[in-house]
Amino acid sequence: MESNEAVAAATSETELKAEEPIHNNTHQPTSDTCSTEENVLANSITYYSNAKKYWSNISPTVDGMLGGFGSISFIDIRGSEQFLKHLYKQKPAPGRKRALDCGAGIGRIAKNLLVPLYEQVDLVEQDEHFCQTARVELADCNPKLGSIFNSGLQDFAPEAGRYDIIWAQWVLGHLTDRDAVQFFIRCTKGLARGGMMVIKENFTTTNIVEVDRKDSSVTRPLAVMKQLLKQGNLRVVKEQRQTSFPKELYPVYMLALRPLIKN
């Protein structure tokens, strides 16, 4: 699976079956990049390998991670920072010891959002080149920089009870529905007492799942994502739309999550 940040522009939509959607779009799909979900998911091994191949050719820069929209990085981080501050007004509030950045790319979110707020930050990223860049980018963050796991999220299992915050942004579109649900279940087990998971993703404005064959990803409707979260033992405790993004981009929402059933 692809574990990178990416922003997608709103575009024409193709109706798909809601049983097994996959991911969130990372670019601007064209008519020849949209396909039926059944075809895309016919072979999950190929699906993930195609995404991995795509990201291996992307520049390890902020602009590369954000699909050419590097200029929104500051606005994105500020919106996430404000959202996190609201979460610390919840009861019980999550701790501030350990955070996990999922689909970390080159460490943009870890460095600018999580490191200033937590005692230690771990990263998980499937592209080794991006992992290497993240190590360089975060070299001055020691001892706050923890482990950098070179793994796709479909294969990654957080250590039980370790994290106060698990942050997943612009990466869940690179997981099949089945793998997304299993990943959510594993994340609930990885949360510390009072911990939360936060997802920040693009969403379609209708009930249509959009497929981008170019990078093996989908963009889901918010309602579909909420169904997957519920199947993954997570409930939404706070929801907020990111503001001040360019109008041509998909709507981006932040969802704060807690386990439905405590592990």
**Residue set of the binding site:** 103, 108, 153-154, 169
Q: What are phi and psi of 157, to 5 degrees?
A: -125, 115
Tell me how far apart the alpha carbons of residues 29 and 78 are, in angstroms, rounded to a whole number: 27
Tell me how far apart the alpha carbons of residues 213 and 70 are, in angstroms, rounded to a whole number: 23
Any residues with CB less than 8 A from the CB of 51 and at least 6 apart, and which?
Answer: 1, 2, 174, 215, 216, 217
Q: Which residues are annotated as a binding site for S-adenosyl-L-methionine?
A: 103, 108, 153-154, 169
Tell me how far apart the alpha carbons of residues 102 and 164 are, in angstroms, rounded to a whole number: 14
Tell me how far apart the alpha carbons of residues 56 and 129 are, in angstroms, rounded to a whole number: 8
Residue among 43, 12, 11 nearest 216 (CA): 43
